Amino acid sequence: MHRFNQALLNFAFEIRMGLNFGPVTAGVIGTTKLFYDIWGDTVNVASRMDSTGEKGKIQVPEYVALALKDKYQFELRGEIDVKGKSRMTTYFLKANSNK
């Protein structure tokens, strides 16, 4: 991210991201202006991973880190308070495992 900022931009571009996977409800809503949207617990947790994350990092819940541990490296962040949930153990995605 730092190299990207230096090479291409005249300002500091910072991003944080939250990832999750699981079942969702999806559909087109509206009558005159239609748009596609998704809902459900999976979406809510992904949103919380983003909103409680840190700049320059991708945060995931523990079950995502466990499911992807053979392909990616993760750093334990620890437990965080997640609105609408109990405390959740989360991880930051570090890199490909190159296994």
pLDDT, one tens digit per residue, over 40-87 is 999 999 999 999 999 999 999 999 999 999 999 999 999 999 888 889
Please report the pLDDT score of residue 95 as a whole number.
77
Question: Which positions are annotated as active-site residues?
Answer: 48, 83
Token readout for 71 is 């392909």
CB-based contacts of 23, cutoff 8 Å, min separation 6: 40, 42
Give CATH superfamily name and number for 2-96.
Nucleotide cyclase, GGDEF domain (3.30.70.1230)
Domain boundaries, the chain: 2-96
Please report the pLDDT score of residue 72 as a whole number.
95
Q: What is the mean pLDDT of residues 7-25?
A: 85
Measured CA to CA, the distance from residue 67 to residue 65 in angstroms comes to 6
